[in-house]
Chains A and B, each alone.
Chain A
Amino acid sequence: MRYFRSLLLLLPIIAADIVTAQTPDYPNVGRNATAEEIQAWDSGVGPDGKGLPPGRGTASEGAAIFTQKCIFCHGANLEGTKNGPALVGGKDTIATLHPVKTIGSFWPFATSLWDHISRAMPLNQPGSLKPDEVYALTAFLLFRNGIIKESDIMDSTSLPKIEMPNRNGFVPPRLEDIHRWRCSGGHCR
């Protein structure tokens, strides 16, 4: 009888254990990340420009860097080579049989330029460019595509405000409407 009573006392504890087993929180697996660790680890800039570092650059500063580090793959006139795509031209080709995707003809966000150059360029030394250099190259490419003036300064304030010519060339156009597509027979909706 005494045993029986202690078993009864145990029941709620067993029940509680079962509930815990259904939604375990896996204690002591993984550890908290510090703010410093996150800052060192994190990189990247989205359309809102959040994460753009201090710094600045202009098209003429960018031209010098381009000559030094980008010409081999993208060509002296930004026309592209077999190693890298064209960075200018393609205007009014997107709706034709032979679309040419370039910064001026296709890219929807100027911030994507900064993000891509910063993380992936140049091909042989990605991640090696300093923020001022990335701002300058971004300014140079925007200028050569007729999107900004040669004297315009690109920094964390001005860059996210740039309106790209093909910003409305995508479906769905609004970021908040992009969600989980259901596709059928090549048609996603």
Chain B
Amino acid sequence: MSSKGSSRRRFLKEGVALTGLAAAGARPGMGQVETSQVVKNTRPYGERSRFVTSARIPDDPTSRSPAILTPIQDSAGIITPSGLHFIAEHYDGVDIDPQQHRLLIHGMVDRPLIFTMDDLKRLPAVSRVHFLECPGNTSLRRSKNTESIQQTHGRTSCSEWTGVLLSVLLRRAGVQKGASWIVAESADRARYIKSIPLDKAMDDILLAYYQNGEPVRPEQGFPLRLFVPGWEAISSVKWLRRIEVVDQPHMARWETITHGSIRGDGKARWFEFEMGPKSVITRPSLGQRLPSRGYYEITGLAWSGGGGIRRVEVSTDGGRTWKDAQIHEPVYRMAHTRFSLDWTWDGTEQVIQSRCTDERGDVQPTLEQLAEVWGVDMEYWKTTTNNVLKFNPIFRWRVTRDGSVQNALFS
């Protein structure tokens, strides 16, 4: 044993009280502090490092039931850790014993059926990576007067969802002629209810019981949730207890009044299910600060309810010129897709932004294009108190001379 080794051992033994101090005064040039605490990694369920603090935040701390927002600025890759998935509820959640839980399928079917959770898990399972986005993500009122990208864009998350295809159960029940909708109902206290066209139900809707390789989290609908790929998150009913096959939508308060989206002419669009193409630069982003000029990887996320992301372009000069960003594998349909672009910041004020194109060729719109679709002028966006939902304009961040990043959507 070398003397160097034994002195290190002695230091470890005698220097416990100094650990914190030693860590703070890490030897220059050393990659690692040798006096770090020894941790026995034998926890039955692992936890992240105590040095990692990335966390969800409430959108409105004074609200009775605030939405809880994903720290999208800390994201890497495309999967959102289940513990950081956003939460937005119409009603308080419920704590359900999976042994007691039942799903009823009835209405315009030949054989009304009741399933236990064990029944559902016996059926063939599929796993799919999809984003889940609240229609209020980046809504107009949240796009203004906000301090971080977590507040503007924190209502979208992406997970691997595992479960049984709803079409398997509907075929087993035997859908009758004339049926055109399903109505899905939650076991939450208010029995939240949502209408969905039957063709989507027969296509790719999942009854999900797993999220990212473990049972769906309680706040995500344990033990069973509907998962409707590419559509507004209000369709993906949590704590699912009942599916009725019907021939017209239920016209529940939430789907008509809450999410009826009023346009410039006063007519409201209802049942606009699909989320449009959207992208955002997550780093550098609103609320962050660049420590110095020099190299940065611009990185962000793109997604579309219309399918896979085919192209992402980034501009670092206020939209005068655009460069194709690198799209990172894997690219899944209706999923967050990671993109990046090398960038050297010269210390001057710059406006950076991204725009995406999906597999249909649909391009994320500018604020001006959205105004045209909505039948409003640009002034409308600044002054209205209408809670504009499904708002997916190209977002712009301004990197100022001191390195702080500001919201430049309206300037």
Chain A contacts for B111, CB-based, 8 A? 32
Asked if residues B370 and A120 are in contact (CB atoms below 8 Å), the reply is no
Asked if residues A99 and B262 are in contact (CB atoms below 8 Å), the reply is yes
A46-B251, A188-B269 in contact; A83/B114 too (CB < 8 A)?
Answer: no
Q: Which of A43, A98, A175 has the most CB of B within 10 A?
A: A175
* CB-CB contacts below 8 Å: B172-221 with A: 172, 183, 185, 189-191, 193, 197, 199-200
B272: which of A25, A101, A169, A188 is its contact (CB, 8 Å)? A188
Q: Which of B185, B253, B273, B393 has the most CB of A within 10 A?
A: B253
Chain A contacts for B385, CB-based, 8 A? 97-99
Asked if residues A120 and B364 are in contact (CB atoms below 8 Å), the reply is no
Asked if residues B191 and A119 are in contact (CB atoms below 8 Å), the reply is yes
A30: which of B113, B242, B365 is its contact (CB, 8 Å)? B113
Asked if residues B197 and A38 are in contact (CB atoms below 8 Å), the reply is no
Q: Does chain A have a CB within 8 A of B260?
A: yes
Chain A contacts for B248, CB-based, 8 A? 46-48, 175-176
* CB-CB contacts below 8 Å: A150-189 with B: 169-171, 175-176, 178-188
Asked if residues A38 and B277 are in contact (CB atoms below 8 Å), the reply is no
Nearest B-chain residue to A47, judged by Cβ: B251
Asked if residues A33 and B189 are in contact (CB atoms below 8 Å), the reply is no
Docked Cα-Cα span, A113 to B242, in Å, equals 21
Chain B contacts for A58, CB-based, 8 A? none
Asked if residues A186 and B391 are in contact (CB atoms below 8 Å), the reply is yes
Nearest B-chain residue to A187, judged by Cβ: B373
Shortest distance between the CB of A31 and any CB in chain B (Å)? 6
Q: Does chain B have a CB within 8 A of A140?
A: no
Nearest B-chain residue to A183, judged by Cβ: B274
* CB-CB contacts below 8 Å: A96-141 with B: 96-99, 101, 106-109, 111-113, 115-116, 119-120, 126-127
Asked if residues B384 and A98 are in contact (CB atoms below 8 Å), the reply is yes
Asked if residues A175 and B249 are in contact (CB atoms below 8 Å), the reply is yes
Chain B contacts for A119, CB-based, 8 A? 190-191, 193
Q: Does chain A have a CB within 8 A of B374?
A: yes
Chain A contacts for B390, CB-based, 8 A? 183, 186
Nearest B-chain residue to A176, judged by Cβ: B248
Shortest distance between the CB of B371 and any CB in chain A (Å)? 10
Q: Does chain A have a CB within 8 A of B229?
A: no
Docked Cα-Cα span, A180 to B273, in Å, equals 7
Chain B contacts for A94, CB-based, 8 A? 262, 266, 268
A185-B277, A186-B374 in contact; A112/B266 too (CB < 8 A)?
Answer: no
A32-B111, A106-B257, A119-B191 in contact; A112/B251 too (CB < 8 A)?
Answer: yes
Q: Does chain A have a CB within 8 A of B85?
A: no
Q: Does chain A have a CB within 8 A of B115?
A: yes
Chain B contacts for A188, CB-based, 8 A? 269, 272, 274
* CB-CB contacts below 8 Å: B120-134 with A: 122-123
Q: How many A-B residue pairs have CB under 8 A?
A: 189
A106-B260, A186-B365 in contact; A178/B249 too (CB < 8 A)?
Answer: yes
Shortest distance between the CB of A89 and any CB in chain B (Å)? 15
Chain B contacts for A42, CB-based, 8 A? 106, 242, 244
* CB-CB contacts below 8 Å: A11-59 with B: 25-26, 29-33, 37-38, 41-44, 46-48
Docked Cα-Cα span, A95 to B262, in Å, equals 8
Nearest A-chain residue to B271, judged by Cβ: A178
Nearest A-chain residue to B232, judged by Cβ: A183
Chain B contacts for A43, CB-based, 8 A? 185, 191
Chain B contacts for A175, CB-based, 8 A? 248-249
Asked if residues A44 and B193 are in contact (CB atoms below 8 Å), the reply is yes
Asked if residues A97 and B113 are in contact (CB atoms below 8 Å), the reply is no
Chain A contacts for B365, CB-based, 8 A? 185-186
A31-B113, A48-B248 in contact; A182/B306 too (CB < 8 A)?
Answer: yes
Asked if residues A171 and B269 are in contact (CB atoms below 8 Å), the reply is yes
Asked if residues A44 and B113 are in contact (CB atoms below 8 Å), the reply is no
Asked if residues A30 and B115 are in contact (CB atoms below 8 Å), the reply is yes
Asked if residues B363 and A185 are in contact (CB atoms below 8 Å), the reply is yes
Asked if residues A126 and B190 are in contact (CB atoms below 8 Å), the reply is yes
> Using a CB–CB distance below 8 Å, which chain A residues touch chain B?
25-26, 29-33, 37-38, 41-44, 46-48, 83, 94-99, 101, 106-109, 111-113, 115-116, 119-120, 126-127, 169-171, 175-176, 178-188
20 contacts between A and B (CB under 8 A): A25-B172, A26-B122, A26-B123, A29-B123, A38-B104, A44-B185, A96-B266, A97-B385, A97-B386, A101-B257, A106-B268, A108-B256, A112-B251, A115-B193, A115-B253, A119-B191, A176-B248, A179-B199, A181-B271, A186-B392
